[in-house]
Homo-oligomer: A and B are copies of this chain.
Amino acid sequence: MKTAVLYSGGKDSSLMAVILDRLGYDVELVTINFGVFDSTIPARQSAENLGFKHKVLRLDRGILDDAVDMIIADEFPNNGINHIHHMVIEYLADEYDVIADGTRREDRIPKLKQNEIQSLEDRKGVQYVNLTGIGYKTINDTSERLFKLQKAQSNIHNSSDYEMEIRVLLDEKGQSINEIFPQHIQSRVIGWK
């Protein structure tokens, strides 16, 4: 079973990878890039430090452009980010048998709805897995126990989220980034404890 875990270098996607690995899946971590800015370095480093196979998947920049247009029109990032996530999952479903991401119980965006998961699995003959059964407290406790974490204000040099290339494009278009993406602290996985 060819298994991809969408990977940002954060604790959620790292934990998803660890669970599948410890259940015997041959996990490949996959980080998405659209060719605007190489936001994949943090994820590549985290993957290497954890000892997982890792791949950067370069997808059509049009997906990112569409998302940025949506975000500018909405003055809000959710629909744009969700658009990217859905396009990415659809792409992966043609290449892998099992697709996973680090979506957890409280996450709203990006997230596949129950009927979207059912449709994806039926149309593409794949299996989709996420962390919806686990809440943030359990993920935090488990991550603190398993991983060395680096906590810092999220910026384009320490995260491989979709958000990073969106920020670069918004900036090029003269948009005020910090109103759309408020500053937040993020935990990056930098190795095993």
Q: Which residues of A contact B (CB under 8 A)?
A: 1, 15, 18-19, 22-24, 98, 103, 105, 114, 117, 121, 127-135, 137-138, 141-142, 145-146
Task: Determine whether the beta carbon of A129 is less than 8 Å from that of B135.
Answer: yes
How far is B133's CA from A131's CA once the two chains are assembled, in angstroms? 5
Partner of A23, one of B19, B117, B129, B133: B19
Residues of B within 8 A of A117 (CB): 105, 135
CA A75 to CA B17, docked complex, whole Å: 44
- Counting from the closest, the 5 A-B pairs by CB-CB distance are A132-B133, A22-B22, A130-B133, A133-B133, A127-B138
List 4 other contacts, CB 8 Å, given A24-B145, A105-B117, A129-B133.
A19-B19, A117-B135, A130-B133, A133-B133
Chain B residues within an 8 Å CB radius of A141? 1, 127
CB<8 Å pairs between A and B, sample of 19: A1-B141, A15-B23, A18-B23, A19-B22, A19-B23, A22-B23, A24-B142, A24-B146, A98-B138, A103-B133, A105-B117, A105-B132, A117-B135, A121-B135, A121-B137, A127-B141, A128-B135, A129-B133, A133-B133
Q: Which residues of B contact A103 (CB under 8 A)?
A: 133
Which of A15, A23, A98, A146 has the most CB atoms of chain B within a 10 A radius of its CB? A23
* C-alpha gap A142/B23 in the complex (Å): 7
CB-nearest residue of chain B relative to A128?
B135
Q: Which residues of B contact A131 (CB under 8 A)?
A: 133
B129/A138 in contact, CB under 8 A: yes
Chain B residue at minimum C-beta to C-beta distance from A1:
B141
Most buried by B among A24, A103, A134: A134
Q: Known contacts A19-B19, A24-B142; decide if A132 and B135 are in contact (CB<8 Å).
A: no
Q: In the complex, A117→B114 CA distance in Å?
A: 18
